[in-house]
Each structure stands twice: as structure tokens, then as C-alpha cells.
A and B are shown apart, each in its own frame.
Chain A
Amino acid sequence: MKRLLKLYMARPELAGIVLLVVLLGVFQFRSDGVFLNQQNIRGVMGLLPEMGLVAIGVTLLMICGEFDLSVGSVFALMPMTLAVAMNAGLPFLPAMLLGFLVCAAIGFVNGYVTIQFNIPSFITTLGMLFMARSLTVVISGGFPPLLSSDIPADLFTTYVGPGELFRLSFFWFLGIAILASWLLARTNFGNWIKAVGGFQEAAAANGIPVRRVKMICFILCSMLAGFAGMIQVFRLGSPLPSLGEGLELQAVAAAVIGGTALTGGIGTILGGIVGALLIRVIDNGLVLSQVDANWFKFAVGFLTIFAVVVNAGLIAVAKKIKVGS
């Protein structure tokens, strides 16, 4: 029993889950029962995949020991590239592939500059944040282009299932989350990611291709951000150049709330998803609780810090539990 408890308490995502459950109760009470009604769940779950996909990418990269602050800009750049390409006459599939290629190129540049010149990824990707955002405005020409009617937006935006509770985007997100979890937990590559993030020198000494692992993580992170942006644009119907501003901080917060260590080596995909869901729940719950708008950011920040503090506390408590041999 003690061993089980120690194992559960040492899971980095536990604090996020505990806080999620507590907040669900608080917001349900404060909103007079509206928070968990069908319409609101539909709304929250409809938006979760966009934030969740970015959080998955950022979580993977953070476990690997790096950051990517350009995800918010890539979030806008990919769908803008797709829209501009289609308006120029390219069919949907090639335009989408072009968009993903742009994301991969950005991820590659982020990784190459960080690794080759040995500079903190925080700085590299901070610069890329501005460059990618500017590129988005440049290729749009100032006005968001019209989305072509040939785009199969229904593949992502249609509501399905009993009570039409979930958009199809949720199932895309679920599939990618399962794939990412499997990659991290069940493959050699996943072990390499954790080893590189945990102790890079030891990983290299053990023959792990550190540069390749990091490069792949940077590229995956960018591509997931681009995919998430594409889903949001299909939902909104307009590839706005301002999409995703501030998303990078939310994604990092989601990863950390879910138990991913800022120093690398520790974290789970489930934790990143729980963190993303928590941020969505906080946003949504504060609106329904009619918290004064001027206190909004304060509440979001406070709850974010609180989640991380609880997480650290739980891990510290877990370490103190002595389990007999």
C-alpha cells in the first residue's frame, strides 16, 4: 500500500490532476451548475486539442532539456502558409505539406542554431518567435487571406458522438497523444529523450545520439504547433496573423503544471495534457464565475503557481515515504 502510494505520489502529473478535480468542483459551485453542463463541456473540449497539441510538443522538447518559445508564431505561420499557397493555386494536400515543411524547417533552424552554436534554446527560439511572426504578417500582406472552400475543414470541426460532445479534432488530438505517450514510454527513442534531458553528458557517453534526438524533438514540437494552428484556423474560418500570441508561455506553463521539470529529464505526455486542460478549465471557469475582468490575469497566474507548488510538495512528500524492502 505504501509502495503504491509512493509510486502514485511520485508521478509528476498527480498534482495537476488533483488541482483539476478541485477546480472542477469549485467552478461548478460558483457557476450555479453551468460549468459541467453539456454546452460548456462541448466548448472546453472543442478548444482543448489546439492547446493540447502544442503542450505535447513543448512537453517532449522540455523533457529533452530544451525550450521552444516560437510555437505561438509557428501556430499562426503554418495555416497562413497553407492559405496563401491555396490562394496561389496549389491544391489542399500540397499546400498543407508545404505548411508542415515550413514548420519542420523552423524546428530544424531552432535545433541547428541551438546545438551548433551552443546557445540556450530560450534565446534561439525567442528570436525565432519574432521572425516567424513577422513572416506570417509579410506573407499575408497585412490582410488575412480568404480560406479556400476546398479545405476539408469538416474533418476537424464536425461535432460527433452522443450529444455531439466532441469535435473530430479531439480524436486527432487523442491519437497523437497516444502516439506521443507510446513514443516516450515504450521506445528506445523515448528513453533517449529522457536521458538527454536528464544528464546530457552521460547520455552522450553511453552512445546516445544527442544532437539527433534534440533535432527531432525541435522539429516535432514545431510541426505539432503548426498542426494545432491549422485546426484553429479551420475552426475560426480565418488565418489571422495574430493567432497564437502568448501561446508559448501557456504551453510552457501547461507542461510545468503537468509535472515536467524545467531542467529536463522528467515529465509525461499525460502531464502536459492535464496542464493544458487545467489552463482551459481555469480560463473557462473564471468566465463562468464572473470574476472581475481586471483580476483575471491575477487569478490565472495565482492558480498556475499554486499548481506547481502543490506538485513540488507532493514529490517532496513522496521522497520521504520509506518503503520496506
Chain B
Amino acid sequence: MRLDKIIRQLGKGSALAALVGASLMLAAPAAVAQDEPLDVVFAHHSSASNPFWQAVKKGFDDACQKLSAECQMLFTQNEGSIEQQVANIQAAMARGPDALIITIVDDQALDQIVADARAQGVIVIASNVDDTEGADGNERQAFIGQGFVAAGHALGKAMAERFPAEGPISAVVGVSAPGQNWSEQRAQGIMEYLEEYKAANPDREVSIERLDTGTEGAVVADRVGSYLNANPDTTVYFDTGLWHAYVARVLADRGVPPGKVLLGGFDIVAEVLQQMEAGYIQVQVDQQPYMQGFMPVMEAYLAKSFGLSPADINTGTGLVYPEDVEAIMPLATQGLR
């Protein structure tokens, strides 16, 4: 009798497990079924806690809503994890989507899976980050995003206009993700400009330091904060992402006045705009993430519906200054910039 009770309990437990699992799955929003709606998967290398990608997701979701498409954006569990991105793509491919939007942060890791997708007739568009060899290095059909080297160069040049008129220049470039295309190319662009500046100003002492800074705000703040402690004469810090916003907080906490250490980086998020308003960040490069989420879906729709070839789109190397913040802030908080 006791055994029967135990078996009943186990049976209840298993049923409970199934119920919990099923309810968890059912809690997820499901797409409205239509006659052959466009099925798009966006699989990138970033985690859901990165605010930049929420703007991309907004663009992606808005485009999908306008087209009544079935869409799914796949984040990684660890920031910058390419193997998780590849695993996500593999899983999504089993569903047979019409289009795959990806970021190519490494020149080799996604070659095979993209080739397999193309062989299955899937439309593949790269967004945000491209293979360094472009179409020659990967079978993706188009790239929608920013030219990183050019953007880095533009940032360096704009910041140089704010360098002190005299004295040595001590520049630090924080490489957020060593080895990843987007981070290395932005750093390359910045450093190329700084070398040009150095050559054009032989009478000034210009030092250029490269740091591995990370992609978590607290980590970047800690590392760069420590560097600035040890090197108080630092003139400018460039971040290859948006994490210098956290460095700005460290400077503010220490009572360092705005502009004492120039700060500049990439991407417009609310935290960056706040620090621009406060005067700590002088120049920022905007790559218009909303467009990077929106346009690939439109191109996938055109490709599927009318056989039009996806085309490259440069989402811009627009420079944003503190005087632009008032106009941009409302859009940034809505995830549109």
C-alpha cells in the first residue's frame, strides 16, 4: 500500500514536471500564423543584457510587425560567445527559416554554417559586423552595418580637435573584445588616425596605449579606473564600445572634472547620452542600431517575395556631440537610436 502511494506521488511529480515545463513554454509569446509568413531568425553574438542590442531588437521587431513576419532574435547567454551563436544558428536552421540574419565577428567560425544555410536556399544577411574580407570571405548576401575602421578613424579625428593645444598627448584605446572583428577594427581605425596625428605633429610627444577592457560595465570601469589611477596624465580614453560611460561614472565619483580626461566611443545608449550631457563624453559614433535590425528584415522580404538581391547598406559613421543630446535622448530611450 505504501508502495502504491509512492508510485502515485511519483506519477504526480512527473505530471507536475510536464505541466511546469509546458506552462513555461506556453508563457512565451507565439507568432500569429498566416499563409506562409516570412520566417526570419536573427542570431548574433551578444547577450540580452547589452543595451545596444535592445535597439537592434526594436528595429527587428518593428519590421517584423509591419510585415506580419514570424521572427525570432537569438541572444547568447555569455556576451560575445561565438560558439553559442553557432549553436543557436544550428538549432534555428532545423526549423527551416526563410532568412537568417547574423553577425560575423570571426572570419572562420561562421563560414561553414552560412554555406550550409545558403545551400538550403536560406537568405543570409550579415548585420552589425561583417567578415573582414566582406563577400569574398563569407557567403552572406549583403552586409548592413557600419564600416568599423572608417568609424574609428572618424572618431579619432573628431576627438583630436578637442586635444589640449600644448603638451604631451597620452591616448589609451580600450579594446573591448580582443580578437573580435568589430572591436579590433574600430581600434585599428582609431590607432591609425592617432599615428597620422603623431606623424603630423612631430614636436608633440604622443603615446598610444592599448588595453583589454572587457564588455561588462563594472569590469571596464574597474580596469580603466585603475589605469587612470596609475596614469593621471592620461589625455584621452577611447572605448571600442559604449562602456566608457561607466568610466565616466568612475571619474565623476573621484571628483575629476568633466573634460579633464576626454572620453569617446561607439553607439548611442541612454547611459552614454547622460554622460555626454554631464560633459564627460565628448564624441560618440552612432551606427544606428535600429536600422541594423529593421533593414535586414525588409531586404529578406524583398528577396523572398520578388527575388531581389539583398544589397549592402552603410548604416553610418555619424558623429554625435553633446549639443545633439537633447534631440537624440527621447529616441534613445525608446530604442530608436
Q: How large is the interface on A (under 10, 10 to 19, 20 to 34, 35 or more residues)?
A: 35 or more
Q: How far is the CA of A238 from the CA of B107 in the complex (A)?
A: 8
Per-residue CB proximity of B88-103 to A under 8 Å, as 1/0? Answer: 1011111100000000
A237-B108, A299-B24 as given contacts; A22 in contact with B91, CB under 8 Å: no
Give the complex CA separation of A283 and B72 in angstroms: 15
The count of residues in chain B whose C-beta lies closer than 8 Å to any C-beta of chain A is 53
Q: CA separation between A310 and B2, bound complex, in Å? A: 20
- B contact residues around A27 at 8 Å (CB): 25
> Are B179 and A240 neighbours in the complex by a CB distance under 8 Å?
yes
Cβ contacts under 8 Å, A26 to chain B: 18, 21-22, 25
Query: In the complex the two chains form, is A37's CB within 8 Å of B94's CB?
Result: yes
Given A22-B18, A26-B22, A237-B108, do A287 and B91 touch, yes or no (CB 8 Å)? yes
CA of A35 to CA of B92 in the docked complex: distance in angstroms? 10
B307 within 8 A of A: no
Query: Is there contact, CB below 8 Å, between A237 and B111?
Result: yes
Q: Out of A18, A143, A240, A294, which one reaches B184, CB within 8 Å? A: A143
B111: chain A residues at CB < 8 Å are: 237
- Which residues from B are CB-within-8-Å of A321? 3, 6
Tell me the bound Cα distance from A244 to B57 in angstroms.
Answer: 26
Whole-angstrom CA separation of A241 from B106 in the bound complex: 11
Which residues from chain A contact B107 at a C-beta distance below 8 Å?
A: 238
Which of B77-85, B266-274, B283-291 makes up part of the contact surface?
B77-85
Is B81 a contact partner of A242 (Cβ separation < 8 A)?
A: yes
Shortest Cβ distance from residue A43 to the other chain B in the assembled complex, whole angstroms: 4
Contacts of B150 in A (CB 8 A): none
B25 touches A236 (CB 8 A): no
A137 at the interface (CB under 8 A from B): yes
A240 touches B18 (CB 8 A): no
Using Cβ atoms and an 8 Å threshold, which residues of chain B touch A236? 82-83, 86, 106, 108-109
Which of B22, B94, B179 contacts A142, CB < 8 Å?
Answer: B179
> Which A243-299 residues have C-beta < 8 A from chain B?
243-246, 283-284, 287-297, 299
Contact, CB under 8 Å: B90 / A293:
no
**Cross-chain contact of B78 among A2, A246, A310 (Cβ < 8 A):** A246
Are the CB atoms of B48 and A297 closer together than 8 Å?
A: yes
1/0 contact trace for A134-154 toward B, CB 8 Å?
Answer: 000100101110110000000
- The residues in B between 18 and 51 inclusive whose CB is less than 8 angstroms from any CB of A are 18, 20-22, 24-25, 27-31, 48
B137 interface hit (Cβ, 8 Å): no
From the candidates B17, B30, B73, name the one contacting A310 in the complex (CB within 8 A): B17
List of A residues within 8 angstroms of B13 by Cβ:
310, 313
Residue of A242, A299, A322 with most partner-chain B CB within 10 A: A242
The distance in angstroms between the C-alpha atoms of A236 and B82, with both chains bound, is 9
Task: Write out the residue numbers on chain B whose beta carbons fall within 8 Å of the beta carbon of A306.
Answer: 17, 20
Whether, in the assembled complex, A19 has its beta carbon less than 8 Å from a beta carbon of chain B, the answer is yes
Q: Which residues of B contact A310 (CB under 8 A)?
A: 13, 17
- Which of B22, B95, B109 has a CB less than 8 Å from the CB of A238? B109
Q: Could you say which of B21, B22, B31 has the most chain A C-beta atoms within 10 Å of its C-beta?
A: B21
B92, A241: Cβ atoms closer than 8 Å: no
Q: Which residues of A contact B17 (CB under 8 A)?
A: 18-19, 22, 306, 310
Instruction: Give the docked Cα–Cα distance between A134 and B43 (Å).
Output: 28
In the complex, which of the residues A37, A137, A322 contacts B212, with contact meaning CB atoms closer than 8 Å? A137
**Binary interface profile of B, 59-87, with partner A (CB < 8 Å = 1, else 0)?**
00000000000001111011011110011
- Is B333's beta carbon under 8 Å from chain A? no
In the docked arrangement, what's the CA distance between A245 and B73, Å?
A: 21
Are B91's CB and A147's CB within 8 A?
Answer: no
Contact indicator B94/A144 (Cβ below 8 Å): no
- One of B6, B10, B22, B29 near A292 (C-beta < 8 A): B29
B171 to chain A, nearest CB (A): 17
Q: Are B24 and A317 in contact (CB under 8 A)?
A: no
B330 within 8 A of A: no
- What is the bound-complex CA distance between A271 and B94, given in angstroms? 28
Q: Report A26 CB to chain B, min CB distance, Å.
A: 4
CB-based contact B74/A287 at 8 Å: yes
Chain B residues within an 8 Å CB radius of A19: 17
Task: Tell me, in angstroms, the Cα distance from A30 to B180 when the chains sit together.
Answer: 35
- In the complex, what residues of A have CB within 8 A of residue B57's CB? 293
In Å, the complex CA distance between A316 and B80 comes to 41
Whether A289 and B25, one on each chain, are in contact in the complex, defined by CB atoms closer than 8 angstroms, is yes
Q: A290 with B109: in contact, given A40-B94, A47-B87 (CB under 8 Å)?
A: no
B14 at the interface (CB under 8 A from A): yes
Does A31 lie at the interface of the complex (its beta carbon under 8 Å from any beta carbon of B)? Answer: yes
**Proximity bits, A18-33, B CB within 8 Å = 1, else 0:** 1100110111011100
- Which residue of the partner chain A has the closest CB to B48? A294
Cβ distance A75 to chain B, nearest Cβ, rounded Å: 10
Find out whether the CB atom of A292 lies under 8 angstroms from the CB atom of B175.
Answer: no
In the complex, are the beta carbons of A31 and B108 less than 8 A apart? no
Q: Check if B109 sits within 8 Å of A47, measured CB to CB.
A: no
Q: Are B21 and A22 in contact (CB under 8 A)?
A: yes
CB-defined contacts of A317 to chain B, threshold 8 Å:
6, 9-10
> Is B6 in contact with A320, judged by CB distance below 8 angstroms?
yes
State the 7 A-B residue pairs at the shortest beta-carbon distance, nearest first.
A40-B94, A238-B108, A237-B108, A43-B90, A287-B91, A291-B28, A246-B78
A–B pairs, 25, beta carbons within 8 Å: A26-B25, A40-B94, A43-B93, A137-B178, A142-B175, A142-B179, A236-B86, A236-B108, A236-B109, A242-B82, A245-B81, A246-B77, A284-B91, A288-B94, A289-B28, A290-B30, A291-B28, A292-B28, A292-B29, A293-B75, A294-B48, A302-B24, A310-B13, A313-B13, A317-B9
A-binding residues in B (CB < 8 A):
2-3, 6, 9-10, 13-14, 17-18, 20-22, 24-25, 27-31, 48, 57, 72-75, 77-78, 80-83, 86-88, 90-95, 106-109, 111-112, 175, 177-180, 184, 212
User: Residues on A close to B: CB < 8 A?
Assistant: 2, 5, 18-19, 22-23, 25-27, 29-31, 34-35, 37, 39-40, 43-44, 46-47, 137, 140, 142-144, 146-147, 232, 236-238, 240-246, 283-284, 287-297, 299-300, 302-303, 306, 310, 313-314, 317, 320-322
